[in-house]
Amino acid sequence: MNFIWQTALKDLRRRMKDPIALLMWVAIPGLMLLLFSVVFGSGGESVKPQVHLLVADQDNSFASRLLLGSLGQGPMVDLFKTERIEEEEGLRRIEAGDASALLVIPPSFGEKLLKQEKTKLVLKTNPAQRILPGIAEEVLSVLVDGVFYLQQVLGTPLSEMVDQATIGNSGPSDQSIASFSVTVNQLMTRAETFAFPPVIKLGSEAKRPQEDAGAARAEETEKPSRSIGELFFPGLLFMSILFMGQGLADDLWRERSGGTLARAMTTRHSVTRVVMGKLLAGVVIMSTICALALVAGAFLYDLDWMRMLGSLLWAVFTGFLLLAMLMLIQSYASSQRTGTVLTSLIIFPLMMVGGSFFPFEIMPSFLRTIGRWTPNGWSLTIFKAILAGEAQIPMIGGAVVGLGSVAVCLLLLTARRLRRTGTGS
């Protein structure tokens, strides 16, 4: 037992002399997490993009006010921030990068629209921005298309009403108003099925209780986190664990080149103890980094402190299993470079499919099913359940026993392989 601790302490002292390597294992996930926190916010509410639209309304008619009013209805309220301004001042502010876009409504816009004459809207965008001006352009394009089709349907009766109102300023006749009302009513009747579908539909379907329970569990599993940053946090933590596992497994070649394995085979200390010592050092390093990450996650995303210990233990246990797997792969490599390539070819697909790069909640269903059967994806699912307080002790206990047995087998296989190749034979 003393030899195992000595091997672990030796590895830890060597790692402390190379802090850059430790930093690299957590740098990429940490920077990604910081980026998500800054862009989307670290609290329960995510930061929503908002288009700052300057409007130079040179017409000030009912049609122009109706157009601008549509940008302040429904979901457009949070998406657009409109500000009325003169055209010259708007151009100056767009050039200064003080807004996303400038909309210029020309004079006689409403009159030409009612008379079905050609008119145009001018949209000047901020060249320093890409996404928000594009949103403004797409939304206004949809509104213009809608006005076009509305004009094709109601343009003629509206034009007649305008003409009658213009002649002698007597206003539209009762006959034209009635004709327009009938046209609108006929239009709404034809479009009722498509434009106004029933809000609630009643249906019945018989399901077995087992199916209902399974559907409920699936719905709870798919429930998204409260923010984008919190959604990505568990997967990025497991990405860091995979990076640590790859770096620690690569350390086997230090023992080969330094002759540690050859000396162990000539003494009473077995190669198995060398492997166990390295696994112990890896567990200490993973525990420290995972604990710091979970504390940061608790502050950033308001995670439950009462579940931190269980989450930490499961994350470290998963790291122990992944490290044992990667050490076995390294033991079969013909050189250190070959081992690094092999482990990279394994961990990067695991990250892609196993929920580290893309959370399961936003992945396609077939990829999500595959990813949850990968070693890290399956462990990540349980880790999220522990954080959410939905994990059951019998399930976790059975997983620990089963995966612990697998880890022991991997350890023994690694020691057996190194016993054959540790001296270069």
Same domain for 294 and 168? no
pLDDT at 71: 75
The lowest-confidence range among 19-28, 80-89, 277-286 is: 19-28
- Output 135 or 70, whichever has higher pLDDT: 135
**Taking 80 as the threshold, does the pLDDT of residue 89 lie above it?**
yes
Q: pLDDT class for 136, splitting at 50, 70, 90? A: confident
Q: Is residue 136 part of a domain?
A: yes
Alpha-carbon distances, residue 221 vs 365, 381, 385 (angstroms): 13, 9, 8
Residue-wise pLDDT for 229-257, tens only, equals 677 788 888 888 888 888 888 877 777 77
Same domain for 285 and 148? no
Same domain for 373 and 262? yes
Of 35-49, 132-146, 338-352, 384-398, the range with the highest mean pLDDT is: 338-352
Burial of 193 (0-12, 13-18, 19+ CB in 10 A): exposed
**Taking 80 as the threshold, does the pLDDT of residue 97 lie above it?**
yes
Q: Is residue 154 part of a domain?
A: yes
pLDDT at 228: 65
What is the CB-side half-sphere exposure of residue 140 using CA atoms within 13 A? Answer: 24
318 — phi, psi (to 5°)?
Answer: -65, -40
Same domain for 92 and 138? yes
Q: pLDDT class for 46, splitting at 50, 70, 90? A: very low
Q: pLDDT class for 118, splitting at 50, 70, 90? A: confident
Residue-wise pLDDT for 396-417, tens only, equals 888 788 888 888 888 888 888 8
pLDDT at 45: 45
Same domain for 22 and 63? no
Section 322-339 average pLDDT: 86
| Residues 371, 7: Cα–Cα separation, whole Å | 35
**Taking 70 as the threshold, does the pLDDT of residue 117 lie above it?**
yes
Q: Is residue 121 part of a domain?
A: yes
Full-prediction pTM beyond 0.75? no
**Taking 50 as the threshold, does the pLDDT of residue 70 lie above it?**
yes
Sign of CA dihedral 261, 263, 269, 274: negative
- Output 42 or 19, whichever has higher pLDDT: 19
Same domain for 302 and 394? yes
Same domain for 282 and 410? yes
Same domain for 39 and 66? no
Q: How many domains does the chain have?
A: 2
Q: 253, 336 in Cβ contact below 8 A?
A: yes
The mean of the pLDDT values for the chain is 75
Pull the structure tokens for residue 419: 């016993």
Q: What is the identity of the amino acid at 411?
A: L
Residue-wise pLDDT for 148-193, tens only, equals 666 666 656 666 655 555 555 555 566 666 666 666 666 666 655 5
Q: Which of 189, 209, 242 is the C-terminal boundary of a domain? A: 189
% of the chain with per-residue pLDDT over 90: 0
% of the chain with per-residue pLDDT over 70: 70
The lowest-confidence range among 62-71, 274-283, 410-419 is: 62-71
Same domain for 159 and 283? no
Instruction: Please give the residue range of the domain that contains residue 231.
Output: 2-43+227-421
CATH number of domain containing 113: 3.40.1710
Q: What is the edge-to-edge ordering of all strands in the sheet holding 80-84?
A: 80-84, 51-57, 101-105, 122-125
- Output 317 or 11, whichever has higher pLDDT: 317
| Residues 322, 114: Cα–Cα separation, whole Å | 70
Q: pLDDT class for 215, splitting at 50, 70, 90? A: very low
**Taking 70 as the threshold, does the pLDDT of residue 222 lie above it?**
no
Q: Is residue 37 part of a domain?
A: yes
pLDDT at 179: 65
Q: Is residue 315 part of a domain?
A: yes
